[in-house]
Amino acid sequence: MNDTFAIVYAGHGNPLLGDLIAHRAVSASPLAGRYRTIDVLLSNVAQSGIRDVGVIMQRNFQSLVEHIGSGDAWDLNSKNGGVALLTPFDQGLSTGLYQSFGDALFAKRYYIERERANHCLLLASDMVYRADYNELFDYHIETGADVSILYSRELRLGAGDPTHLAKLDVSDSGEVLGADFGPADEKGGCFNLGACIMGKELLLELVEKACAEGRYNFVTDIIEPALGKRKVVGLEHKGYAARLTTVTSYFDMTRDMLDPQVRDELFFANGAVYTRVADAPPVRYAAGCEVENSVFGNGCDVRGRVVGSVVFRGVSIEAGADVENCVIMADSKIASDASLRNVIIDKEVTVGPGARLVGTPDNPLVVRKGSIIAAK
């Protein structure tokens, strides 16, 4: 894909994620004990042979800037090109509070214009899946399409989600005939994965036309008006896919990492997922601890009971602590005799001795970053 550059829209995230995005962008959400969700996307891009990537940021982007850095973890730190961190306010062209992907693209059109490649791969950052974008690019060229969209039939992407992901109407020949944001039913559909390829000049034309009319949504205001006038096709992605729009969707996606088949598909079968290096010793499992069906990041000290949970780097779980069906983010401490069920513990949280925190699988309890929880 030497003739393609990529743009990732690392927006703030859906407000329904609540405290999970109080200190980070959605693309910086922790994943599988040691990664962030954007690691999967950047690994897809790098392993597809794309060398130029622009990451458009909006709010709470400091942790994302520190995490991506020069892009060396993904071999995207070349002298010519590589990763470009497109923070708000850098050109004085907007407030930085983008209304949607289209608005962000319009504000960063200078980046698009200076790119030498003729095709642009556009990516939303609230999705987690593995893909070789060469397949989408080849399909784009073979069909002679103007716009090519990656979609999935994974029902969970649309079912039960109040944000209503775009469902595409794809003909038997693969042409996209329309898009609908209505709620999904048990029949499912072709759900937009937020990955799209089109020519650079066409992208600029569609974005500038839509924004001139005060329309900024990428699907309804940029893609849909092109239907019937341009050839828009869809390619099905077969495999795991998850979307981060609510606290429950994050909880479900994170606990999917307990499934060996999902872990194999995401981190091994389709190539490695790379991330920023953080050196730490291996997990310490102390004598007397009880661990079952859980994933740990390095640097953890486990002395209590942990069942069906995802535990990130540097977490300490003291003897007598009881953790079940939880997500515990980096550098948190669970003291002795604390009991946790269906809880998301954000970074650097201290749960005191004897504290009891209980959520449900459909409504997990979220403890905000840096909190100190004492027993009542």
C-alpha to C-alpha distance for 121 and 328, rounded to whole angstroms: 34
What global pTM score does this model have? Answer: 0.94
CATH says 4-269 is which class? alpha beta
Residue whose C-alpha is closest to residue 253's, from 142, 359, 88, 128: 128
> Is it true that domain 284-373 has CATH number 2.160.10.10?
yes
**C-alpha to C-alpha distance for 73 and 106, rounded to whole angstroms:** 29
| Token output for 248 | 């429950």
| Nearest CA-CA partner of 24 in 52, 54, 66, 55 | 66
| Residue 114: count of CB within 10 angstroms of its CB | 8
CB burial of residue 16 (10 Å; 0-12, 13-18, 19+)? middle
What pLDDT score was predicted for residue 10?
92
Residue 93 has pLDDT above 60, yes or no: no
> What digits encode the pLDDT tens for the residues 208-229?
999 999 898 899 899 999 998 9
- According to the model, what pLDDT value does residue 166 have? 87
**In what helix (H) or strand (E) does residue 48 lie, and over which residues does it extend?**
none
Question: 284-373: same fold as 4-269?
Answer: no
pLDDT tens per residue across span 139-191: 999 999 999 999 999 877 876 666 668 889 999 999 999 988 877 767 778 99
Stretch (H or E) spanning 136: helix 133-142
Spatial distance between the Cα atoms of 183 and 148, rounded to a whole number of angstroms? 24
Domain boundaries, the chain: 4-269, 284-373
Q: What angle do CA 135, 14, 227 make, to 5 degrees?
A: 45
